[in-house]
Structure 1
């Protein structure tokens, strides 16, 4: 037997201590038993009820869109406003992963295609088919909404691609009974909401449709832009994408609100939490005059019928746009609501090759100016000392020029006009007078004709407050070198000899330009606004406004004032400053004399339009300074009709207006454009309207 280790002396456990330890252990056992039983009860016996409560204890923050401000005309008449509508929309978080993956794959393909040149892009990326696990839901929704499955799928895919975080609107203007049917069956329509929203409405329908632009939810790419980050624009915010909506978005947009919703596991609302009310946007008053706009629109349709074209009227003192129209036009309501790709293409992408109604031909077109450009040639001739207001030219009807003895004649048979000065040349629109002037300007250094064209705004943007305008082209030596090099590069790439004719080169997308220096023939064409000169009605309006106001190149603008919902003015919208060019009084007087005689004296190219009516136009009270133009456009078999007019009521400070009208395939300027302009002027001055067409004119 081994003795215990010395010093290890433990006291024996007494019966009383053992009893106490047993009691404590029993109590601990009972407590743990109760806790275990309670946990078992909660998880097993009553687990389902608590699971339901837990699933219901969720919240979702929703955006409360701010109402966009209204857009009104100069007199407060509504042009764009809001209307309440019930919509059917689908929450992205309710979609299966297969649908989200399909949308992501579609988006990747669209982005990759956009990176390619137009020649290499090929057909548009098709919308993927509805995944099998999502098909029953889409089919059920299609039957309920009376829509095609393909249309719903298209809107979901495009919506996820453009703004994957935002609900996708499937249908607008939902009938109340359909909305109620969906609302009462959340399990059959998971993720489908039927809120009441504000949509843009256009009480004037197609009037000035191209200027208003569109709105849409901000895209993920735009959210990263500094402009929107500085303004703390949140995902889901509706912003202006183009036109007036984009140009004045800071005023119109307002600030979205937010509300916290308590929802169940399926996202169905179970009560409201905190609400931050949205702040509505402010209104914008434009310079447009609705009465003039209606009259101008009706005048164009009355005279030009279905011809493509445009008109613009502005105040030559400050560039305020009083009326503007582009044809064909459209009802902008179509783009304020979901539209199928098939319908969009049918309306906005005509198969006949025309530009379609989305193009604003006032500022985004490219046309030769024809004889309306002759005022530029006259100013250049004055400035170079080649002509004076009293100097004359013997107009025999034709002119021969160049080493190859090319012959150019007055249009209309080459009839001569005898000894004429610059005012008479403008009155009768003598081509040979300006051909000869163009030849002499070509011999001067510094390209004076091109210099004056650019001074007056040709070949450069006008700086209008909507943007998106075309720059146009004033052909010169630098332009000729540039396009010549494009042709050389194209032919080298396609192994086509430079000596090959254009029709041969054209089979491989070359042959678009000549190779060589700026020629005498091109100078002659430019002098009468033909050839490679490209402009638009807004540029012409600015040029003639400068002539009318004595040399100020105004900035055309539509924005006038910021207003509240009562129409009270909050602040003016500042217009860009005009620049000044020097037009000597004697030069201006001679040109204005020619333009007035053109519209008022027998033999003037537009005189019949203003005199052949009962009563005739009151030239003493409303003097007309007008210029016709008939453009030979290579893209058209029939000539294009132009007319530019400036007038006022007794004094240049009383209701001054510049009107520019063009009608593609409208033939002579006095046939179509001038009668439209007369009707517009009649509406502006409140005189009796009459449609009178000119007997004939030259280019």
Structure 2
């Protein structure tokens, strides 16, 4: 293979390498011999049966000295087919460039909310797949997987499992509205503090927002509002409203994307934690505080950017949990379409129109109205955007020092009739509005053919989630 694009979309394309002895024992590699090449990762692996073609061979009879004495047969080589991808190459380059400009590990996903076609998928740091076109040394491989180098080989878009911070509030909001626990206009007084026994929960930067409804809470990202929902929403021995809604939207399971490696993630439930407690693997059983943390995307929640893109896409399209995919069709070398790739939706979930309108409206206010959490980034954007910032706490290093917060941003555009979802996360990126949101803005600028603004961290007088 000739990887002319360098490190752009390297995690998607994958690489080709010599078939291993272990692979030769597998049915999918029947008919191959040592020395043949096969796809080893990414699209190259997933669609190897189409791309590989049929190797040719001329077989000769030889004498004891190795001299040919006659031809036994000949097998003509057959070219492999082509895979047409859903990726927009210009959008992919923009996403890679914007994400890489921060010099931090992270990922970005852009997806068509109706079809699940992945338009761009970036993971930083990246690598040049050319390194796999020749024998790779042990040192080279270690550098690609080393945590000290931020593991360039890992595709953080599908394998990076993290707490999501406040972009998870979409899940809590939908579950609360569907359950009838709260109405769109019901007022919750955010006085900046929620006390549970000896534990005190506060807003970011100790903010106080006063009397607010759901749209207001999404606009300013009131943690107290969603803490109250987490406290009040029912949960039973096995799970609860928030957990069920999250799983309905595709969290806690693989998305089914056509890539060989993908994480499941984790939606923490009472049954899960209590099982760990009974097995002496954790120091306490499930408490209401776990539900409070989950309501704002903290605690034990683990999700990747692609899962969150699917969840936001389901809100946008009215409840269809799509199967994201990178391949659009299989074609011959002459361009004849042999197979259209249209994976079925995973499921359809109920998204009441009033709930959808309330949540989308709150997210649009968060991006487009003054004092909205991402207004400094999207306030003058020419296309209406519905967006949510997220800032996730990541615990502590072994030294005891805190790991810098993880930045998230999820966007739907146009807000009044979404066609694209963009999700960005940046490890150690701080507040979502400062780093992840500007990357999402560059991707949306390219998608809508707008002038591209240089990507810089957005400074805010009062950081917000």
TM normalised by structure 2 equals 0.92
1:271 shift after superposition:
8.4
CA deviations 1:172-209 (Å, max 9, x no partner) are xxxxxxxxxxxxxxxxxxxxxxxxxxxx1111000111
For the residues of structure 2 that align with 1:427 and 1:574, how far apart are their CA atoms?
A: 36
1:610 CA displacement: 1.6
Which is greater in Rg?
A: 1
Alignment deviations for residues 561-606 of structure 1 (CA, whole Å, 9 cap, x no partner)? 1122233433312323341000111111100000000000000000
Q: What is the CA distance between 1:311 and its match in structure 2?
A: 0.5
Query: What SS class does the counterpart of residue 367 from structure 1 fall into?
Result: coil
Q: Distance in 2 between matches of 1:385 and 1:650?
A: 25
Q: Structure 1 residue 247: deviation in Å?
A: 1.0
Q: Which residue of 1 aligns with 2:253?
A: 460
Aligned to 2:16: 215
Conserved? CA contact 1:542–1:556, under 8 Å = yes
Higher relative contact order (CA 8 A, sep 6+): 2
Partner of 1:310: 107
Q: Does the CA-based 8 Å contact 2:15-2:39 persist in structure 1? A: yes
How far apart are the structure 1 equivalents of 2:191 and 2:158? Answer: 38
Structure 1 residue corresponding to 2:381, chosen from 601, 613, 617:
617
In 2, distance between residues paired with 1:650 and 1:479?
Answer: 38
Shift of 1:435: 0.5
**What is residue 680 of structure 1 aligned with on the other side?**
443
Q: Does 1:670 align with 2:433?
A: yes
> Structure 1, unaligned stretches of length 5 or more?
1-199, 489-512
| Runs of 5+ consecutive residues of structure 2 not aligned to the other structure | 397-401
Shift of 1:226: 3.6
Distance change in 2, residues 1:349/1:241 (3 Å): closer
> Residue in 2 aligned with 1:19?
none
Distance 1:389 1:649, change over 3 A: closer
1:425 counterpart (217, 222, 241): 217
User: Within 2, Cα distance between the matches of 1:362 and 1:376?
Assistant: 20
Q: Write the distance in 1 (CA, Å) between the matches of 2:17 and 2:67.
A: 26
Shift of 1:686: 0.7
| 1:457, distance to aligned residue in structure 2 (A) | 1.0
Give 1:295 deviation, angstroms.
1.1
In the TM superposition, 1:266-665 aligns within 5 A as: 267=66, 274-302=73-101, 304=102, 306-345=103-142, 347-350=143-146, 352=148, 355-402=150-197, 404=198, 406-412=199-205, 414-442=206-234, 447-486=240-279, 488=280, 513-611=281-379, 616-618=380-382, 622-634=383-395, 637-648=403-414, 651-652=417-418, 656-665=419-428
Structure 1 residues 471 and 443: alpha-carbon distance in aligned structure 2, compared to 1, 3 A threshold: closer
Q: Residue by residue, what CA displacement relative to the aligned partner does 1:18-53 show, whole Å, maximum 9, x if unpaired?
A: xxxxxxxxxxxxxxxxxxxxxxxxxxxxxxxxxxxx
The structure where helix makes up a greater share of residues is: 1
Distance 1:598 1:697 in 2: 14
Q: What is the alpha-carbon distance in structure 2 between the residues aligned to residue 472 and residue 669 of structure 1?
A: 21
- Asked if 1 retains the 8 angstrom alpha-carbon contact of 2:175 and 2:241, the reply is yes
1:467 deviates by 3.5
Q: Distance in 1 between matches of 2:66 and 2:381?
A: 70
Q: Secondary structure of 1:344's match?
A: helix
The question of whether the paired residues in 2 share the 8 Å contact of 1:442 and 1:520 is answered with no
Question: 2-side partners of 1:278 and 1:238: how far apart?
Answer: 13
> Could you report, residue by residue, the CA deviation over 1:391-418 in whole angstroms, capped at 9, with x for unpaired residues?
111111111123x3x2111011x12111
Q: Is the 8 A contact 1:485 1:515 kept in 2?
A: no
The DSSP-based 3-state class of the residue aligned with 1:362 is helix
Distance in 2 of aligned mates of 1:381 and 1:657: 25
Aligned-CA RMSD value: 2.2
1:138-189 Cα shifts (integer Å, max 9, x gaps): xxxxxxxxxxxxxxxxxxxxxxxxxxxxxxxxxxxxxxxxxxxxxxxxxxxx
Q: Take 2:355 and 2:147, find their aligned partners in 1: how far apart are those partners? A: 48
Change (3 A) 1:638 1:237: same
